Amino acid sequence: MKTKYMNPYLAGVLLGLVLLMAFFFSGRGLGASGAVKSVVVSAVDIVAPEHTANSAYYSKYVGEGKSPMKSWLVFEMIGVLVGGFLSGALAGRLKWKVEHFPGITVNRRLIFAAMGGILFGFGSQLGRGCTSGSALSGMASLSVAGFVSMMAIFGTAFVLAYFFRKNWI
Amino acid sequence: MGPLVPQEIISASWNLFIAFGIGIGFGFVLEQAGFSSSRKLAGMFYGYDTVVLKVFFTGAITAMLGLLFFSLFGWIDLSLIYVNPTFLWSAIGGGVIMGAGFIIGGFCPGTSVCAAAIGKIDAMVFIGGIFLGIFFFAEGYPLIKDFYMAGSFGPIKISDFFGISGGVMAFLVIIAALVMFKLGELAEKKWPREEY
């Protein structure tokens, strides 16, 4: 198959080296959902500071001397935006668009994207990290949690693929 | 020698700057691999494009072997590397919900940010969904807390769980990955699709 993208095995090795650098420099792996959590915590803290101070969940991240936005994952994800943009610019892929299977409408794609995001956001908090933080980084450090997350995420997606096939093929 | 920041070989004040630099590499590689396309990502689950499988496992194995060799050479102290703790039931429950989110939404959080960076509007909507989902979890936390904390095993390693060395475990993962890569290549031949 001719492709405009990088050879996947080469991309995988490069991804692994980036992850290895995160471990070597900062002693931790990559992540993504944790950065969104920081934004959610900060936003709720601005709107309802009393609520965050009294909540069993938010109070872990706010209070004196704690600033949820000054976190490793927030800065890493700002970097992801920059790196993704640079790659897209170099490859000529910068374009406003709703990407979807031609058999479905734009609205259907966006509704399903929103629903998938809600589920992924909720699941990432329950599972203590998403595909990057729990599964990928966890597997690299040989944590049981990493392998369990990977199998649960990909296994479920495979099992449910049949029911959502009309969105994709 | 490593990890450099936890051992204060590099000052902790540099850590966020390092995070930014590593993020640039992360985002660049994800986009180059095609992870900015939900149709490519979803192809994994229908067999027409298995780039997710190849990049994800090659990446995990590269970093896994890197850590093991760095440790062997005395370049890194593995006891200072963060190992995410295992809470068995919430890991399975969270993973199942994330898997549903993956096939329904076509992204995971990291890939959605990467896709949003090149202008994919569906990815931006997906990110909006992540915000809501995390907000729902945070507000519902008191109800979920017992399940969230159940089945705690601490930062247990899979090699210790099976009673084998890290090297043998990595070898087994590599064998499993090679078999899956072969299956992936066969699937792409069987269900060919144009490139997105």
Cα separation, A3 vs A68, whole angstroms: 40
Whether A3 shows a pLDDT value over 70: the answer reads no
Whether B108 shows a pLDDT value over 90: the answer reads yes
What residues are paired with B2 via a beta bridge?
Answer: B76
Q: Which range of residues forms the domain containing residue A46?
A: 35-95
User: Taking Cα atoms as reference points, which of B146, B29, B45, B26 lies closest to residue B101?
Assistant: B45
Whether B142 shows a pLDDT value over 70: the answer reads yes
- Domain ranges in chain B are 1-82+166-196, 84-156
Cα separation, B5 vs B19, whole angstroms: 11
Interface of B with A in 111-140 (CB under 8 A): 111-123, 125-139
Compare all CA atoms of chain B with the CA of A138 and give the residue at the minimum distance: B84
Assess A37–B contact: CB distance below 8 Å, yes or no: yes
SS3 A102: coil
Q: Output the CA–CA distances (angstroms, integers) from residue B162 to B175, B184, B189, in the order listed.
A: 17, 28, 36
Assess B88–A contact: CB distance below 8 Å, yes or no: yes
How many domains would you assign to chain A? 1
Over chain A, what is the mean pLDDT? 95
ipTM here: 0.97
* pLDDT tens sequence across A126-142: 999 999 999 999 999 99
Q: Where residue A63 falls among pLDDT bands split at 50, 70, 90?
A: confident
Q: Where residue B4 falls among pLDDT bands split at 50, 70, 90?
A: very high
Cα separation, B188 vs B148, whole angstroms: 38
Q: Which residues of A touch B171 (CB under 8 A)?
A: none
SS3 A7: coil
Assess B63–A contact: CB distance below 8 Å, yes or no: yes
Contact between chains at B94 and A128 (C-beta distance less than 8 A): yes
Contact between chains at B106 and A158 (C-beta distance less than 8 A): no
Alpha helix locations (H) across B50-165?
51-72, 88-105, 109-117, 121-149, 158-162
Q: What pLDDT, on a 0 to 100 scale, did the predictor assign at position B192?
A: 86
DSSP secondary structure code for residue A132 in this structure: I
Contact between chains at A120 and B102 (C-beta distance less than 8 A): yes
- How confident is the model over B92-108, as a mean pLDDT? 98
Over chain B, what is the mean pLDDT? 96
Assess A60–B contact: CB distance below 8 Å, yes or no: no
Element (H, E) at A89: helix A72-91
User: Is residue A119 a part of any domain in this protein?
Assistant: no
Assess A93–B contact: CB distance below 8 Å, yes or no: yes
Contact between chains at A115 and B80 (C-beta distance less than 8 A): no
User: Taking Cα atoms as reference points, which of B94, B92, B54 lies closest to residue B185?
Assistant: B54
Whether B55 shows a pLDDT value over 60: the answer reads yes
User: Taking Cα atoms as reference points, which of A114, A12, A108, A53 lies closest to residue B58?
Assistant: A12
Cα separation, A80 vs A82, whole angstroms: 5
Ranges A62-76, A82-96, B45-59, B134-148: which has the least confidence: A62-76
Amino acid code (one letter) for B25: G
Interface of B with A in 27-46 (CB under 8 A): 27-34, 36-40, 42-46
Cα separation, B11 vs B16, whole angstroms: 11
Q: Within a 10 A sphere around the Cβ of A79, how many other Cβ atoms? A: 22
* B66 neighbors A76 (Cβ within 8 angstroms): no
Contact between chains at B138 and A91 (C-beta distance less than 8 A): no
User: Taking Cα atoms as reference points, which of A132, A134, A130, A105 lies closest to residue A116?
Assistant: A130
Q: Where residue A72 falls among pLDDT bands split at 50, 70, 90?
A: very high
Phi first, then psi: what are they for B41, rounded to 5°?
Answer: -60, -45
Whether A1 shows a pLDDT value over 50: the answer reads no
Q: What pLDDT, on a 0 to 100 scale, did the predictor assign at position A66?
A: 85
Whether A64 shows a pLDDT value over 90: the answer reads no
Cα separation, B173 vs B168, whole angstroms: 9
User: Is residue A157 a part of any domain in this protein?
Assistant: no
Whether A5 shows a pLDDT value over 80: the answer reads yes
User: Is residue A85 a part of any domain in this protein?
Assistant: yes
User: Is residue A49 a part of any domain in this protein?
Assistant: yes
Assess B145–A contact: CB distance below 8 Å, yes or no: yes
Contacts of B179 (CB under 8 A, 6+ apart): none
- The answer, as to whether pTM is greater than 0.90, is yes
Q: Which residues of A touch B40 (CB under 8 A)?
A: 5
Assess A104–B contact: CB distance below 8 Å, yes or no: no
* Residue for token pair 């979807």: A100
CA distance B41 to chain A (A): 10
Contact between chains at B82 and A29 (C-beta distance less than 8 A): yes
User: Is residue A151 a part of any domain in this protein?
Assistant: no
Whether A156 shows a pLDDT value over 80: the answer reads yes
User: Is residue A61 a part of any domain in this protein?
Assistant: yes
User: Is residue A146 a part of any domain in this protein?
Assistant: no
Cα separation, A154 vs B99, whole angstroms: 6
Token pair listed for A80:
């992801």
Burial of B189 (0-12, 13-18, 19+ CB in 10 A): exposed
User: Is residue A69 a part of any domain in this protein?
Assistant: yes
Cα separation, A27 vs A37, whole angstroms: 21
SS3 B152: strand
In chain B, what is the greatest distance between 2 CA atoms, to the nearest angstrom? 53
Cα separation, B51 vs B44, whole angstroms: 7
